[in-house]
Amino acid sequence: MSEKTVLVTGAGGFIGHHLVDYLVRKGLRVRGVDIKAPEYAPTAAHDFRLLDLRVEKNCAIATAGVDEVYHLAADMGGIGYITSSHAAISLHNTLINVHMLKAAREAGVKRFLYSSSACIYPQYLQTKPDVTPLREDDAFPADPEEGYGLEKLYMEKLCQYFTEDWGFPTRTVRFHNVYGPLGTYSGGREKAPAAISRKVAEIADGGTIEIWGDGQQTRSFMHVDDCVEGIYRIMQSDYDRPLNLGTDELVTIDELVDLVAMTAGKTVIKRHDTSRPQGVRGRNSDNSRLRSVLDWEPHIMLKDGIVPTYRWIEQMVAGGAAQLHDPAAEAAE
């Protein structure tokens, strides 16, 4: 086994759990840290610690003796949560991120990867469903999503300043809508693929599901297996500015519903509720720079990735599994 020890924060959450598995398979010694343990499967981390990273001393404990930090811990969720919790999200994430970045530098960590979000992109570029794919340089002039997006953008700049002023090596990845098995699928923090999969699993053939918005808003979705591979590749690269990590396969939410229904073998009646939050009108990832830097990009098509995702959620629904969520939960999802 490699002597290198890496830390994954948010290791009890969706992406973090999968990333721990991936890094262990790479032969790395992995420490996982989160405010909660993984919900659906045991962690593969060699050392898993329950720590609240909003507390500065816990960040020093987490980073002691590690070579690299994959910092995924965050208070976040789906569109309903992030549009109704600006104060909590901004406060919790600011404390987690600032303390973690400072602690990592003071601990002599060799490299620090920060997980940002496509929510940092200006809302004025995302007003149409046929949105032009968003490039990394489009972040400014800034107009990010309130709360979550604004805090993410600030942290990107703080990473940049730590690198420029103090020579602390950082990497920044902007996630675009990650989905897959072992993720939150109910309780208010779930993302669209999981929410729709749960709704379809809960109804009989020919049943009705509620869709937030008119169904014509567009997104691109990245399977978690592509996500964790991309995270690892970005960490190993020499590129220290933000990089998109997503697919450029743009679909409407109605098309996503159709894919899930086809996977389930059900006919679904769509009932749209335009009073519900639906986020920006369109969002897609421009992967030009990612391809240039890594000579790689996510490749799992939505029609393929949604199959194991739906099957897992269907199994959980059939088994009557319930999810309880702490509004302060910091697991990255």
Residues 104 and 23: their CA atoms lie apart, in Å, by 19
Q: How many CB atoms lie within 10 A of CB 299?
A: 11
Residue 215 token pair: 């169904």
Residue 313 · residue 305 · CB < 8 Å: no
Residue 86 · residue 76 · CB < 8 Å: no
Residue 170 · residue 238 · CB < 8 Å: no
Residue 49 dihedral angles phi and psi, to the nearest 5°:
-125, 135
Residue 29 · residue 46 · CB < 8 Å: yes
Containing H/E element for 172? strand 170-175
Q: CB-side exposure of 125: number of CA atoms within 13 Å?
A: 23
Task: Kindly list the strands in the beta sheet with 29-34, ordered across the sheet, starting from the edge strand earlier in the chain.
Answer: 47-50, 29-34, 5-9, 68-71, 111-117, 170-175, 243-245
Instruction: Please name which of 56, 60, 78 lies closest in space to residue 69, comparing C-alpha atoms.
Output: 60
Task: Supply the residues annotated as catalytic.
Answer: 148
What single-letter DSSP state applies at residue 123?
G
Residue 30 dihedral angles phi and psi, to the nearest 5°:
-115, 130
Q: Which amino acid is at 30?
A: V
Residues 22 and 9: their CA atoms lie apart, in Å, by 14
User: Using alpha carbons only, what angle is made at residue 32 by residues 53 and 99, rounded to the nearest 5 degrees?
Assistant: 25
